[in-house]
Each structure stands twice: as structure tokens, then as C-alpha cells.
Amino acid sequence: MEKIIEESKQGDSLVLEYKPENVKKLYIESYGCAMNFSDSEIVASILSENGFNTTQVMEEADLVLVNTCSIRDKAEQTIRKRLEKYNAVKRAKNPKMKVGVLGCMAERLKSQFLEEEKIVDLVVGPDAYKDLPNLLAEVEEGRDAINVILSKEETYGDISPVRLMSNGITAFVSITRGCDNMCTFCVVPFTRGRERSREPQSIINEIQDLSDRGYKEVTLLGQNVDSYLWYGGGLKKDFVNATEMQKATAVNFDQLLEMTAVAFPKMRIRFSTSNPQDMHESILHVIAKHPNICKHIHLPVQSGSDRILKEMNRLHTREEYKDLINKVYSIIPDCAVTQDMISGFPTETEEDHQDTLSLMEYVKYSFGYMFAYSERPGTLAGRKMEDDVPEETKLRRLQEIVDLQQKHSLIRSQEFIGKTVEVLIEKISKKSAEEFSGRNSQNVTVVFPKENYKIGDFVNVKITSCTSGTLKGEAIGLSDMN
Ligand code: SAH
Ligand code: F3S
């Protein structure tokens, strides 16, 4: 899965290469989106330069860090339960253990954490990870430490993240941080700050390093990748004040994606997430032109109703979205499109919900992430709109959306039967040690007998059967991407 880290990995602890000179032990857990998992690698990298080895045994840790998610109330409740667990360990087994909260919940709740959750010693927002060594020094001296300052510049472009929680084949590379879109339901602009882009050369260098170490696929990550704009640093919103020279030499997402595809012809390039209002036809031509750019666009729409889209401050209409979809399918005929949907946004009527279902029928998404609306304090919808759709209605509508998606996923999967697709082998299949598992360009999981292939190979696989989420087939040879 591309954007949201799969359920089984939520809360995974990260393990780094052991450095004998490091004497302290760090236990770090991550929740939420790919950006958080990627940030934890940056944090681990900073701390491994500052005396820490990682451990997977919380009971023996000197420092426990949890990288948190605020996107829905449920995500925050999960973290609260984890904090209770750390507290129990601290009391019963390891009184010297320090606990730090990182990420979006740290940013949202700030010092409230130190006041309410007595076990928390350290609160660090998503733009302050480089300050961790200083903050830890404060904690060592017995003081609570907090840094939740959001930055105009920070992209961590100069930190090379450690990669040891990955499969050695696919990696995330952050290209933008923050978001300027202000969708009225969304807490991200508040927790991750204003949008800024990372210097292209540092992105290319990071991918080069990954390539040198045998990685075969990167996913360029951002809240809104199509809005990427490098003009020498600074916030996207300040581009209007850039000098003529900066404007003339600026790099946009089309250019970055093309640059990456050309520089690394033997690597697969993915990107996520695209926002419909920022995605232009030009990018579709870039995707169509380069075989190593995966034919998959994650294009969340949230609702199919014009009225709700407006209330959500999504800056496009249903018709405009359909036009964009038409362009996608005409310029890149084999492209998979995936969605995010929210059911039960305030004031959503049965008719609005039907509009969502009919838009889904129109697009026939390959896959989706679907959620019941969760009011977030501080957002515009949270402040100005009553959360007036009853929970059971939200859940019933959500189920209808999920059921329809399931049907469409199956249709999309069936389209591959009889076809040959290129698969990058990522791992041994969970279900059978005799089979490999990987993904095709459209981001669908493909499972097939191992034969003599190995992890990291690009293999052409003839698809013989499927479920809604998985294709099955047989390898017919290595592809020319090797
Ligand atoms: N642009 C981001 C979106 C991050 S949030 C990206 O990189 O994907 C991921 C998804 O969570 C959103 O697309 C939306 O469908 C869902 N979401 C966000 N806020 C929500 C809320 N308050 N209630 C329910 N779902 C929400
Ligand atoms: Fe959130 Fe909308 Fe940005 S969903 S992350 S405010 S594009």
C-alpha cells in the first residue's frame, strides 16, 4: 500500500544497525501515514548520531518515542492507549525510562501533553526533530522539554534517513512538507504547517544513494505532490515574492518527476498524494511518456457532491473532477486511479451520498481509503459546522461506499486476467513460502510461484486469477527493467 501504512505495520518499532559506541537504547513506534514512517527514519538517524541504538524491547529502553497521528479521533485514542502501556512499563519495570511524543498529536496538543499525561517527558512537533539532541539534554537534567515550532524552511533534505524497517527494495522519499489547502475537515495544515518543497538535488542524491544500495522503487511523498515548487527555498505561498531569477529557474512537479525518471531509468517511480485541483494535464503526459513512472494516481475526491465539495473547501467541482478522470484515462489508458472518501461530513444528505456512489460508478476506482467523518478540533468544520450526521448513518453510508469499492476493485483486478504485467518482487508471500509477492505498475499486489527469481527482480507475470485485492499468476521471464 502506498500512502497509508498498512494496519499490520501500525505501531511497529524501528530497528537500526547496532553501533557499539552507542550506549543508550531507543524504542521508537510509528502510527499514521507514510510521511510519519518516513519521519521516524529521520529521527532514528539523528539519534543514532547521538548515542542511541534501537531496541524492540520496550522494557529495556532509556527512551521511548511514539510518532503520532491526529487525522481522526480514533488515531489519537490509539496513541492514548499506548501511552498508558508505556506508563505501566515505566512504573513496574523501568522507572528511569523517558517518554517522548512526536508528530501531529504533539503539534496539536503541545504543552497540554506535559500537563495532562504525566508520563510524557518530551514533546516534539514534525519540524523540530533536529532539536532532539538539545531537548534530550534538557530531559536528562530532569526538565520536561518541548519544541513544537513549525518552520518555513525545514525539509530535512540534508539528513539521510536510515532505512532498516524497509524491505530493501522500496522506499519513501519526502519531497514536500506541510499543506496549504485548508480542506475544512483536515488537521494536517495545523499540525504540519505551511507547504514547502525540498531542493531537487537533495532528492536526486537520496534516490542515487538508494539506487546504489539496491533499491528498485521510490515513492515521492507529500501531502500534495503536484503542488511541488522549488525556487531556492521558502514557503510555496511566498513564491509570488520570489525574484525574477528565482521564478525563471523554479522547478515544478512535472520537471521533478521527469528529472527523476530520466536519472533513474532502472528504478520505478511512484508518487503520492495528488490533489485534483493541483493536478494538470502536463503531468499526465510525463507519466505516459516514461515507462518507469508507475501508472497509478492516488486522487482523493472525498465526496461526489458539489455542495459538500464546496463545504469541504475542495477547490473543484464534480464535473471538473470527472473531466480530469477522462483525461487520465485517455492519456494513460492503463492507469489505475485510487481514492479517499469521507462519509457523513456535516450536512451530508442522502442525495449527497448518492452523488458519491454515482461518482464512484463513473470512475471505477481500483482501490480506496474510506473513512467516517471525525470532527477535528480547530479545523474550520470543527469550529463552524455541527457534526450533525448521526454515527449510525455515517457508518451505514461508509459501508455502502466500502461495498461498492470492493465491487469495483474486483472488476479492475479481473481486467488483468490473461494479461502479462511487470512485477517488482518485494518479499516472500505471507500465505505461502513458495510464492513471491510484489506489485504491478498499477499498485496491485501480485503473487506467483518463486521458481528461480529473487527479491528485487522485475519479472513479467501472466495473470491467471484474482481476488479483489490480489492478482495471481505465473512468471514468464525477467523484464527489461533489470
Ligand atoms: N493530502 C493528504 C491527505 C492526508 S489525510 C495525503 O497525503 O493523502 C488522508 C485522508 O484522511 C484524507 O484524504 C481524508 O479522506 C481523510 N481525512 C482527513 N481528515 C479527516 C477527518 N476529519 N475525518 C475523516 N477522514 C479524514
Ligand atoms: Fe488535508 Fe486537504 Fe491538505 S486533506 S493534507 S488539507 S489537501
CATH number assigned to the domain comprising residue 449: 2.40.50.140
> 375-407 as b/e, with b when 16 or more CB fall inside 10 Å?
bbeebbbbeebeeebeeebbeebbebbeebbee
Stretch 434-446: mean pLDDT, rounded? Answer: 98
Structural domain for 208, as ranges? 170-411
Query: In this model, does residue 212 exceed pLDDT 90?
Result: yes
Q: Is 335 a known ligand-binding residue?
A: no
> Is there an atom of ligand 2 within 6 Å of 189 CB?
yes
Give CA–CA dist 325/150, Å, rounded: 35
Distance of CA 313 from the midpoint of ligand 2 (Å): 10
pLDDT tens for each residue of 74-133: 999 999 999 999 999 999 999 999 999 999 999 999 988 888 877 899 999 999 999 999
Residue 163 falls inside a structural domain: no
Stretch 232-243: mean pLDDT, rounded? Answer: 92
Distance of CA 71 from the midpoint of ligand 1 (Å): 7
Q: Are 335 and 295 in contact (CB under 8 A)?
A: yes
Query: In this model, does residue 1 exceed pLDDT 50?
Result: no
This prediction's pTM = 0.94
347 and 397 together in one domain: yes
95 and 179 together in one domain: no
404 and 425 together in one domain: no
* Nearest atom (ligand 2) to Cα of 192: 5
Residue 160 falls inside a structural domain: no
| Count of domains observed in the chain | 3
Q: Which three cell numbers stand for residue 248?
A: 525563471
93 and 195 together in one domain: no
Give CA–CA dist 293/330, Å, rounded: 17
Q: Is 186 a known ligand-binding residue?
A: yes
The CATH number of residue 82's host domain is: 3.40.50.12160
398 and 451 together in one domain: no
Query: In this model, does residue 14 exceed pLDDT 90?
Result: no
Cβ contacts of 248 within 8 Å, gap of 6 or more: none
Distance of CA 38 from the midpoint of ligand 1 (Å): 18
Q: Output the pLDDT for position 113.
A: 86
* Furthest-apart CA atoms within the chain: distance in Å: 65
Q: Are 56 and 15 in contact (CB under 8 A)?
A: yes
56 and 127 together in one domain: yes
* Nearest atom (ligand 2) to Cα of 275: 7
197 and 54 together in one domain: no
376 and 402 together in one domain: yes
Task: Give the residue whose CA is nearest to atom 2 of ligand 2.
Answer: 183
Residue 159 falls inside a structural domain: no
Residue 158 falls inside a structural domain: no
Q: Which amino acid is at 120?
A: V
Q: Output the pLDDT for position 2.
A: 37
Residue 200: exposure state from Cβ atoms within 10 A (0-12, 13-18, ≥19):
middle
Q: Which residues pair with 33 in a beta bridge?
A: 4
Residue 162 falls inside a structural domain: no
Residue 164 falls inside a structural domain: no
Stretch 446-466: mean pLDDT, rounded? Answer: 98
128 and 249 together in one domain: no
Task: Give the residue whose CA is nearest to atom 1 of ligand 1.
Answer: 223
Query: In this model, does residue 397 exceed pLDDT 80?
Result: yes
Give CA–CA dist 425/378, Å, rounded: 43
Reported as half-sphere exposure (CB side, CA atoms, 13 A), residue 175 has a value of 34
Q: Output the pLDDT for position 164.
A: 57
406 and 424 together in one domain: no
Instruction: Give the phi and the psi of residue 422 in degrees, each rounded to 5.
Output: -90, 130
Stretch 193-204: mean pLDDT, rounded? Answer: 96
Cβ contacts of 171 within 8 Å, gap of 6 or more: 163, 210, 215, 217, 218, 219
pLDDT tens for each residue of 117-173: 778 999 999 999 999 999 999 999 999 999 999 998 889 988 877 775 578 999 999
Give CA–CA dist 11/82, Å, rounded: 9
| SS (HEC) of the chain | CCCECCHHHCCCECCCCCCCCCCEEEEEEECCEHHHHHHHHHHHHHHHCCCEEECCCHHHCCEEEEEECCCCHHHHHHHHHHHHHHHHHHHHCCCCCEEEEEEHHHHHHCCHHHHHCCCCCEEECCCCHHHHHHHHHHHHCCCCEEECCCCCCCCCCCCCCCCCCCCCCEEEEECEECCCCCCCCCCHHHHHCCCEECCHHHHHHHHHHHHHCCCCEEEEECCCHHHCEECCCCEHHHHHHCCHHHHHCCEEHHHHHHHHHHHCCCCEEEEECCCHHHCCHHHHHHHHHCCCECCEEECCCECCCHHHHHHCCCCCCHHHHHHHHHHHHHHCCCCEEEEEEEECCCCCCHHHHHHHHHHHHHHCCCEEEEEECCCCCCCHHHHHCCCCCCHHHHHHHHHHHHHHHHHHHHHHHHCCCCCEEEEEEEEECCCCCCEEEEECCCCCEEEEECCCCCCCCEEEEEEEEECCCEEEEEEEEECCCC
Query: In this model, does residue 460 exceed pLDDT 90?
Result: yes
Stretch 181-190: mean pLDDT, rounded? Answer: 96
Cβ contacts of 479 within 8 Å, gap of 6 or more: 422, 458, 459, 460
131 and 175 together in one domain: no
The CATH number of residue 359's host domain is: 3.80.30.20
Of the chain, the percentage scoring pLDDT greater than 70 comes to 97
Q: Last residue of a domain, which of 147, 162, 180?
A: 147
244 and 381 together in one domain: yes
Q: Length of the chain, please?
A: 482
* Nearest atom (ligand 2) to Cα of 340: 4
Give CA–CA dist 127/107, Å, rounded: 9
Q: Last residue of a domain, which of 388, 411, 434?
A: 411
Residue 360 falls inside a structural domain: yes
Band of residue 3 on the pLDDT scale cut at 50, 70, 90: very low
Residue 161 falls inside a structural domain: no
Q: Which three cell numbers stand for residue 311?
A: 463545504
Distance of CA 270 from the midpoint of ligand 1 (Å): 20
